[in-house]
Each structure stands twice: as C-alpha cells, then as structure tokens.
Amino acid sequence: MNNDVTLLHRYAHARAGDKGDRLNLAVFAHDTRHYAWLLEQLSEARVMTLFHHRGVTAVRRYPMPNLGGVNLVLDDVLQGGVNGALNLDGHGKTLSALLLSLPVTPPPGVA
Amino acid sequence: MTVVIGCGAGFSGDRTDAAGPLVDALLGYDAPRALMFETLGERTLAAAQLRRVQNPEGGDEPLLEAFLAPVLGDCLANDISVLGNFGAANPGAACRRIAELTSAAGFAEARLAVIEGDDVRERLGELDWTAWEGERRELPDAARVVAANVYLGAEPLIEALAKRAQVVIAGRVADPSLALAPLCHHHGWAMDDWDRLAAGALAGHLIECGAQVTGGYFADPGVKEVPGMAELGYPLVEVERDGRLVVTKPAGTGGLVTEQTVKEQLLYEIHDPAAYVTPDVILDLTGVEIRQIGRDRVAIHGVRGKPAPSRLKTTISFLDGHQGEAEISYAGPNAAARARLARDTLRERLARRCPPDLRMRFDLIGVSSVFDGDEMPWRESSRSTVEDVRLRLAVEHARREVVELATQELLALYCCGPAGGGGVRRHHEPRLKTASFLVPREQVTPTVVLNRGGEA
C-alpha cells in the first residue's frame, strides 16, 4: 500500500479565468476515461472546503462530458479581485494550481 | 468557402513580433483573410482614458507601431483586413498614427475606418442602467468616473468592411466580435443566424488571447510539454460557411495546437457554458466537440447560438484611493524568523502611525534571490537548506500620504528592523477600480467613419 498523497495534478489539467470578483476554473482529465472519476473528486462541497481559507461563498459546477472536464465558478475567492485585492495575484490566475493540489484517490484501475 | 482569421496579439502587453509569421501563413491561403489584434482589457482601457485626459492625442494603444509596422504593408498589399481594438480610449488618434504607418509603407490612400460610440462617459446620467449579474456595487459617482465603455458587437465592424475599410480601428468592442465581423462579411451570415454567429464568435473566443490556444499559458514541465516557447506561433482559425472551425498555427513556429490547448481556452473566462453572453449572440458550448485532425490542427463543431442579449455590458472605471507596495529581503540562517520579526515590528509601527482604516496585507516570498539568483551556485555548494524570504507589504487607503507613510515604515526597517535586511523596493499609485453594468442595446449608437489616408 502506497501512503503517498496523490494530487489531482497527476490526472487533470486546469486553467483559471476571472470576471469581476468571480473566478472560473476549467478542469479536464488527462485521460477522458477518467471523467466520471473527476466529477466524483470535484464535488461543489469539496471545492468549497479547498478554497475556504480564501473566503469563497459559493461554488457552481458545470459538468462538460463533451470535453471530459468540468467548469467550476467560484464567488469571492479573489479577495476583492483586481479591484480590491492586496494580494500579488488579484486575477487569481495561479489558483488553477491550488485546485490541482487537491488530494485525490487515484482513478479505478490506476496504480 | 473558407475564411481565415489570425490573431496577432491577445493583450496590450503581448509579444510584438508574433504577427509576422501569421501574415506569412495567411499569404499561403487562397481565401478571404483577416488579422485581428486584441489589446484591450478593462483596466487597459481605463489607463488609456487617463492618458487621454493628460494629452488629447494620447489614450490609444502605446505599442501600435510595434504591433503593426512589421506587417501592415503586406496586409494592405494582399487584401488582408486588419481589425483591432487598439483605438482604446482614442480611436481617432490611433487612426492618425496608423495613417502615418500606411503612408510609410507606401499606401497613403489606405482606407481606415474608425468605430466610435462605445465611450458613454458623458452619457452616464441619461442611460438606463442595471447591474451586471456578478456586480454588487452601486453606479459610482460621476465625478470619480474615469472611463465608461460599452462592449460593442460586430455590426459596426461589418459596416466598415462593407465600406471596403482595410484597417478597422475600434475602442471597446467585444473581443470575439473582431473575428466575427470578417466572418459575417465574407460568409454573408445574417445577424439572426444564431448558430453561425455562435460559430464565428467561438472562432474569435478561441483566438482572442493569442498564444493561449497554441501552447502559451499551458506548459507544465514533465506533464504538459510545449516546444519552442520562445517562438510561439499565434493562432489561425479556418472557418467554413456552415460554421465548422479548425484552429491551427503557422508552420515552423513553436507551441502546439492540441485538443488539450483548445479545451483550456474554450472555457477560459466562461461561467455558464450553456450561456456565454457576447453582444452578438449567446453561445451554448455544451454540445461542442473537439477533435485533433492533424498535427497542430484541431476541429471544433457543435456550438449552438441563442438570440443576442437585449442589454450590453458596460465597464465603468473609477479612481478610488491609493495603493502601495514595499518589499525587503532576509536570507541565510534564521531568515524566516527575522522576516517574521520584521513583519511584527511593522504591524506595531503601522498600528501606531497610520489610521485604523488602513488595509494591509503581508506575504512571505522566496526561493533564491539575494545570495545567488536563479542559478543557485551558492546553494548547490552549501550543505544546508538556505532560506530566502522576501517580506511584502501591500496597503490601501483613501489618502495617498497614509499609503506613503506605511511603505516608509518598511523602508525604515533598513536601520530599525532585524539583522541583515536588504533590497527594499517600494511604489505607490492611485487605485483604479472597475464595475460592470448593463445598458439597453437601443440606447447605444455606434458610428463608423471612413478615412482615406488619415483624412475623414
């Protein structure tokens, strides 16, 4: 049994985009056969928990089976966004990597 | 028939040598062709408006010559339309600068169209505003408003092309409309042929960020490799009359076009994928299929369109307070503890010296800087793990002098802070904020003025 923590980064790629104080995270399985698994990992509740320290107030999830991915829309994680944030990355462009740092159980059939 | 559109810039700070290979590739197509430049962000426009206030001939894209001069002659000589929102806050001034470039290229009679009507700063009080879906702010006080620009759609650009404009110079036009306009013009799509308009807007959406669809903003070493990142090819999109698209890039350039690069860009800055709102059409991406059909060639089909929105998005920018940043570095043994002591000292000083409504934030940054830079020779030769911590302070306050006092306190750490602090940098600036509102489409009246060689 391997006790190393596996991160979502191993099985998915992502890009962040902002509009106002909202962030979208488009996440795709490297192997589209892992799409159903990806959806299991990325419940709205889990994403809320991951971004809790950033002050997230809502997560909406848009499954995109045609793309083997999912679009996540997060409210209020930008700490004010480019308008109000005092952080270095007011756009939240780096937050795709925060999502990919989510610990996951590997997809079925994968060692 | 195929129409081919290239995108030579995806933002105001983009690479200025990207358009050359694109134009070379466009010349190889026996088809109607256009080259677009998307150089306008929300804040870029507000900053441009501030420059125009200082100088009536300012406020257009500062890099206009750098973007256009290398390719303008080839475009004019070969019937490649050029469209851009590089007019920013002053499309008229951009037109005069472009007229100089066209003259220098030997095309003094070039037909240049200027699109206006997006700037509604003087009309704030007369328009019927509602808040954009994600907006919780009130309409800012008119006295503080720096810029108010409606996102225009493709229609005035199509009108300009119908008047045989060779260069179309716009300010705030929705990014995808820069591609949709030449597609409507050449394919003869009706402005209520929603599925076709959606395909054209999607073509624009996919290429509007330049290299973001051709391997830029994508590389992750060991996971997603991108060849030739120093010479990325910018995107081309081939669009059929029925709305089928192929995204590709010039041969011999770096980067790559794969299903993965296209997917990432497809949902970039999208919220509900069933309702991506543009001024021209609302896109439904839920049925989009993406397929690699060759090396650096990806086909996209299945986008559906819904009728255009009755209200247009408007970005309003206003000045609101001042911001400042200052940083200082600590390295070597116990550096993190010294940086934290510096932070605690600063906190105490700011509490004593600044008003309680000063907003502040601290960051602790660092891998390798003050001892040995990115090559890390010292670190490689030393057996210990070297700490390298940069303490960053960011502050915001309504009054400039408060912000300056706060960053002054970081500077004072040189003599009053923990041992071995160095490398202070500090700067301040007025804070420009934006808010989004909606205005009824019928209250917005774009105009097209055709100029020949800079003369209206």
Residue of chain A whose Cα is closest to the Cα of B358: A86
A43 and B CB contact within 8 Å: no
* Residue among A20, A60, A69 whose CB faces B135 most closely: A20
Q: Do B302 and A66 touch (CB under 8 A)?
A: yes
The answer, yes or no, to whether residue B193 has pLDDT greater than 80, is yes
The residue type at B281: V
User: What is the reported pLDDT for B451?
Assistant: 92
Could you give phi then psi for residue B104, rounded to 5 degrees? -60, -30
Coarse DSSP helix, strand, coil percentages of chain B, rounded to the nearest 5 percent: 30, 30, 40
Residue of chain A whose Cα is closest to the Cα of B259: A67
pLDDT tens-place string over residues A39-78: 999 999 999 999 999 999 999 999 999 999 999 999 999 8
Half-sphere exposure (Cβ direction) of B412: Cα atoms closer than 13 Å: 14
pLDDT tens-place string over residues B195-233: 999 999 999 999 999 999 999 999 999 999 999 999 999
List of chain A residues whose C-beta atoms are within 8 Å of the C-beta of residue B302: 66
List of chain A residues whose C-beta atoms are within 8 Å of the C-beta of residue B434: 82-83
The CA distance from B360 to B350, in Å, is 9
The CA distance from B110 to B102, in Å, is 7
The answer, yes or no, to whether residue B454 has pLDDT greater than 70, is no
ipTM of the complex: 0.92
Mean pLDDT calculated for residue range A78-99: 87
The answer, yes or no, to whether residue B177 has pLDDT greater than 70, is yes
Q: Specify the CATH number of the domain B316-436.
A: 3.30.70.1130
Per the structure block, which two tokens stand in for B418? 């923990």
Triad B44, B168, B440: Cα angle to 5°: 65
User: What is the reported pLDDT for B456?
Assistant: 53
User: What is the reported pLDDT for B433?
Assistant: 87
Q: Do B263 and A22 touch (CB under 8 A)?
A: no
Per the structure block, which two tokens stand in for B64? 């206009």
A106 and B CB contact within 8 Å: no
The answer, yes or no, to whether residue B365 has pLDDT greater than 80, is yes
- Please name the residue that has the structure tokens 């804070």: B431
The answer, yes or no, to whether residue B455 has pLDDT greater than 70, is no
A19 and B CB contact within 8 Å: yes
Residue of chain A whose Cα is closest to the Cα of B209: A17
Q: Specify the CATH number of the domain A6-100.
A: 3.30.70
Contact by Cβ (8 Å): B215, B229: yes
The secondary structure of residue B159, as a DSSP letter, is: H
CA dist A11 → A59, B295, B339, B356 (Å): 22, 24, 37, 47
Q: Pinpoint the residues of chain B covered by CATH 3.30.70.1130.
A: 316-436
Residue of chain A whose Cα is closest to the Cα of B263: A67
Q: Do A18 and B269 touch (CB under 8 A)?
A: yes
Mean pLDDT calculated for residue range A28-36: 96
Mean pLDDT calculated for residue range B411-426: 94
Q: Do B271 and A19 touch (CB under 8 A)?
A: yes
User: What is the reported pLDDT for B384?
Assistant: 63
A101 and B CB contact within 8 Å: no
Q: Do A22 and B134 touch (CB under 8 A)?
A: yes
Q: Which helix (H) or strand (E) holds B326?
A: strand B311-331
The CA distance from B445 to B63, in Å, is 28
User: What is the reported pLDDT for A1?
Assistant: 43
User: What is the reported pLDDT for B138?
Assistant: 83
Interface test with A, best of B259, B262, B271 (most A CBs within 10 A): B271
Q: Map out the domains of chain A as residue ranges.
A: 6-100
The pLDDT-based confidence of B380 (bands split at 50, 70, 90) is: confident
List of chain A residues whose C-beta atoms are within 8 Å of the C-beta of residue B223: 9, 13
Per the structure block, which two tokens stand in for A84? 């109000």
The pLDDT-based confidence of B269 (bands split at 50, 70, 90) is: very high
Task: Please state, rounded to an integer, the average pLDDT across all residues of chain B.
Answer: 94
Better pLDDT: B333 or B302:
B302
A62 and B CB contact within 8 Å: yes
* Residue among B273, B363, B436 whose CB faces A20 most closely: B436
Is the overall model pTM greater than 0.90, yes or no?
A: yes
Q: Do B274 and A83 touch (CB under 8 A)?
A: no
Min Cα–Cα distance to chain B from A3, Å = 22
Beta bridge partners of B437: B131, B314
Q: Distance between alpha carbon B325 and the CA centroid of its chain, in Å?
A: 24
